[in-house]
């Protein structure tokens, strides 16, 4: 069974450009989460999808970030325009049931985003 | 709100040394506590968990005990190996009805032969 996959693994862009990150969750997992880790700091929650619906987007930093999950399968996270402080590692995770919480949460290996 | 505080790294040890990585938390109610590990080039994976006070989670020689009186969940291993080199994240869920994990900043462990 394939795990959570993220693409690209690394992205280097200039300030003001647009970047789109993609996450393919484990097949059948309704819950999909985006997290971000700025270097040396906590892994911060960004948002949570249940199927194609945004269940909780309280962690999205501002309106330069747009997340979608069309059809309830893969998800994209677009940053437009990117700023220097957006640099960090963006993690995607999925779980089958909401109540799985931390116990049955599967993570991708992350996308390292560098904004220069 | 919920928060998790971990000791700053990196922690650098020789093989077979004793490991402690400190973790304390702030939360309402009775959260579940977790340690995740991220090996180089991989995603986070669950290492161990404890769901109530005085529970001890253990896996792969690692242990952590849920201490409600000190709001701590320190990670320990008696004899580390080079293959244990990774970043370790402490996390909690279930506080205030939320199942979404709150993570600490992570602690990098480097084990030398």
**How many angstroms separate the Cα of A63 from the Cα of each of A59, A80, A83?**
11, 9, 12
Question: Which residue out of B1, B100, B102 would a mutagenesis test of the A interface target, given it has the greatest number of A Cβ atoms within 10 Å?
Answer: B100
B48-101: per-residue pLDDT in tens? 999 999 999 999 999 999 999 999 999 999 999 999 999 999 999 876 667 788
Interchain CB contact of A110 with B (< 8 Å): yes
**What count of residues does chain A have?**
116
The tokens of A59 are what?
Answer: 């962690």
Give residue B97's pLDDT: 66
Q: Name the residue among B91, B94, B105 with its Cβ closest to that of A41.
A: B105
Name which residue leads in pLDDT, B72 or A1: B72
* Nearest CB partner across the interface for A107, out of B34, B43, B49: B43
In the structure encoding, which two tokens stand for residue A14, read together?
């200039």
Token duo for residue A92? 């995607």
In the 8-state DSSP scheme, what is residue B43? -
Residue B106: closest C-alpha in chain A: A42
Q: How many angstroms from the chain centroid is the CA of residue A41? A: 17
Q: What is the reported pLDDT for B96?
A: 66
pLDDT at res. A39? 83
Percent of chain A with pLDDT over 90: 80
Task: Using alpha carbons, list the distances in angstroms from residue B35 to A76, A90, B66.
Answer: 28, 19, 11
pLDDT tens digits for range A64-110: 999 999 888 999 999 999 999 999 999 999 998 876 666 788 999 99
Cβ-contact A88, A38 below 8 angstroms = yes
CB-CB contact of B32 with A103 (8 Å)? yes
């Amino acid at each position: 069974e394939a795990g959570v996959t993220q693409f690209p693994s690394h992205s280097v862009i200039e300030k003001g450009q647009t970047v789109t990150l993609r996450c393919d969750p484990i097949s059948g997992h309704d819950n999909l989460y985006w997290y971000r880790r700025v270097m040396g700091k906590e892994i911060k929650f960004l948002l949570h999808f249940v199927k194609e619906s945004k269940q909780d987007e309280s962690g999205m930093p501002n309106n330069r970030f747009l997340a979608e999950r069309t059809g309830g399968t893969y998800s994209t996270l677009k940053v437009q325009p990117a700023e220097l402080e957006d640099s960090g590692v963006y993690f995607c995770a999925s779980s089958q049931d909401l109540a799985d919480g931390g116990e049955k949460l599967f993570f991708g290996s992350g996308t390292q985003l560098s904004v220069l | 709100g919920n928060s998790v505080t971990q000791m700053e790294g990196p922690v650098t040890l020789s093989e077979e040394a004793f490991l402690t990585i400190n973790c304390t938390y702030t939360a309402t109610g009775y959260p579940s506590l977790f340690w995740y590990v991220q090996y180089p080039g991989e995603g986070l994976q669950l290492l161990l968990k404890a769901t109530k006070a005085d529970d001890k989670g253990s896996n792969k020689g690692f242990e952590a005990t849920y201490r409600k009186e000190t709001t701590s969940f320190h990670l320990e291993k008696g004899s580390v190996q080079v293959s244990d080199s990774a970043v370790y994240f402490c996390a909690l869920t279930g506080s205030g009805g939320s199942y979404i994990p709150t993570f600490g900043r992570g602690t990098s462990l480097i084990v030398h032969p």
